[in-house]
Amino acid sequence: MKKTTLKEIAETLGISISTVSKALKNYPDVSAKTKKRVIDLAESLQFTPNTFAQSLRSNESKTIGVIIPSMVHYYFSSILDAIIKESEKNGYMVIILQSNEDHELEKKQINLLLNKGVDGILISLANGTKDFQYLQKVIDYGIPLVLFDKINKLLKCSKVIINDIKASYDVVTYLINKGYKRIAYFRGDLNPQNSIDRFLGYKKALEDNGIKYDSSLVYLSPIANFDEGYANAKKLIEEDKIDVDAIYTITDLTAIGVINYLNEKNIKIPDEIAVFGFSNWFMSSVITPTLSSVEQNAYRTGEKSVELLFKEIDSKQKGEPFKHETITIDTELVIRNST
């Protein structure tokens, strides 16, 4: 089975290819009668234009590329959900790549997408990413680029983020107001901006509330997973940090590791130790006890990211200049039984 082409329609009707093309695109210089003949035949043959040829001519693929660290992740899959749906509404398809937190792979994938001829790129950076030359290359090539979640402030392009400093500040302030005094923090690596910012928010809230920052209450969980949360909680308890009354973590998964350890040791949450997470994974609402967290509005982040990208693609098509924007997505504290 072969696809119908303009040529076939033209030959069948005894007219030229140009006329067929113009008829289907409703050009004014085709008579109503001819238009009808063309459209009728095109429909009966289920004609759809060959996208390869269209892309070659227009240099547009009607496809965008997305690079995320990992797909099996509540936050990212929610963002992708939004990106895919919004793109489809706009007649675009989405190619997804996973950097796997590997900086070199990310670099290669950017090049793959550029070669592929995508009309725009959305990316949440891998943690290790320090050299931004290849992203600058995307910008130089004039390909619309939007950074979301894990961004780099130095790049001149649009960005969608949350205010991590404020969100983190709010968490700690809430804990202090609840009466918790010795608040441990399980921080992430100091590489992606949001990891730094959450740590800064933690510190600032302590300071503003007259609590001295104590570095012995800060534990590192570089990949922010379940095991690290569990291990750090174990360490904390075994180090006899008996006065710690709350543990706040870089992300929910780590917090759930903490909860599991505390549950095992029969340490009462929140009576003996409270736990606060970040990102509001679905899981957090169904574990025991339910986990307080920060709703990051992943879906909205995805929506806004594509929105910015399409704005930029649009400007490019029209040859208009484009003003980069940075959108900050609102976050909210979700209070549950763990605090």
Partner DNA sequence: AAAACTTACGAAAAGGTTTTCGGAAACTTA
Partner DNA sequence: TAAGTTTCCGAAAACCTTTTCGTAAGTTTT
Q: Which is nearer to a second copy, 1 or 154 (CB)?
A: 1
Whether 166 and 201 have beta carbons less than 8 Å apart is answered as: yes
CA 83, CA 160: separation in Å to the nearest integer? 13
Among 35, 101, 117, 214, binds a second copy (CB under 8 A): 117
CA 236, CA 228: separation in Å to the nearest integer? 12
Which of DNA, a second copy, none interacts with 31 (beta carbon under 5 to 8 A by kind)? DNA
Whether 293 and 131 have beta carbons less than 8 Å apart is answered as: no
Which of DNA, a second copy, none interacts with 128 (beta carbon under 5 to 8 A by kind)? none
User: Nearest distance from residue 257's CB to DNA, in Å?
Assistant: 50
Interacting span for a second copy (CB under 8 A) from 96-104, 183-191, 198-206, 324-332: 96-104
Among 16, 89, 93, 328, binds a second copy (CB under 8 A): 93
Interacting span for a second copy (CB under 8 A) from 35-43, 51-59, 173-181, 233-241: 51-59
Which tokens hold the place of 293? 């967290």
Distances (CA, A) of 8 to 18, 20, 24, 208: 12, 10, 14, 75
Report if residue 1 touches a second copy, rule: CB under 8 A: yes
CA 131, CA 128: separation in Å to the nearest integer? 9
Q: Which is nearer to a second copy, 151 or 259 (CB)?
A: 259
Which strand (E) or helix (H) includes residue 35? helix 32-44
Which residues of the shown chain bind DNA in the complex (CB under 7 A)?
3, 5-7, 14-19, 21-22, 24-25, 29-34, 47, 49-50, 52-54, 56-59
How many residues in the chain?
Answer: 339
Q: Which residues contact residue 110 at a Cβ distance below 8 angstroms, ignoring those fewer than 6 apart? A: 67, 121, 123, 134, 135, 137, 138
Rg (CA), the chain: 26
Residues interacting with a second copy, by CB under 8 A?
Answer: 1, 48, 50-53, 55-56, 59, 61, 63, 70-74, 77-78, 80-81, 84-85, 88, 93-98, 112, 115-117, 140-142, 226, 256-257, 259-260, 263, 282-283, 286-288
